[in-house]
Amino acid sequence: MGYTCRITLAALNAFIRENTRLPQHRRISRTDSLEGDLSLSGDEALDFMEKYFEHFRIERGNYAFQRYFSEEGFNLVEILATPFSKRIRQKYERLPLTVGMLEQAIEAGIWETP
């Protein structure tokens, strides 16, 4: 791992700790998912990502919030029907946004999802 990668990861870890309720003893890994592992969702995730883009001066590129995070609230009927409907399951499926992805965007200066 190069010197700039270590600096980027250290700055990103500090940013994550400042902007989440993550306990200080909790190790942050590149494979950690923001929603699954760091418990960011809804408005908290939206605020976090807005601060992230601003703080690290990253162009948004093709970033789309709904690709990675669930919206606030839920529809009980849809939740109950999820096991029976592929269409509904696909509606709620999200790609995991990881710490490693955040790091890559910092290094590139732009969010580029393949």
Asked whether residue 89 carries a pLDDT value surpassing 50, the answer given is no
Total domains in the chain come to 1
- Rounded average pLDDT over 84-98: 66
For residue 31, being part of any structural domain is answered with yes
Confidence (pLDDT) at 34: 96
For residue 113, being part of any structural domain is answered with no
Domain of residue 85: give its range.
Answer: 3-108
For residue 37, being part of any structural domain is answered with yes
d(CA 102, CA 33): 10
Confidence (pLDDT) at 110: 97
The pTM of the full predicted model, rounded to 2 decimals, is 0.79
For residue 114, being part of any structural domain is answered with no
Q: For residue 51, which amino acid is it?
A: K
For residue 39, being part of any structural domain is answered with yes
For residue 48, being part of any structural domain is answered with yes
Whether the Cβ atoms of residue 51 and residue 23 lie closer than 8 Å to each other: no
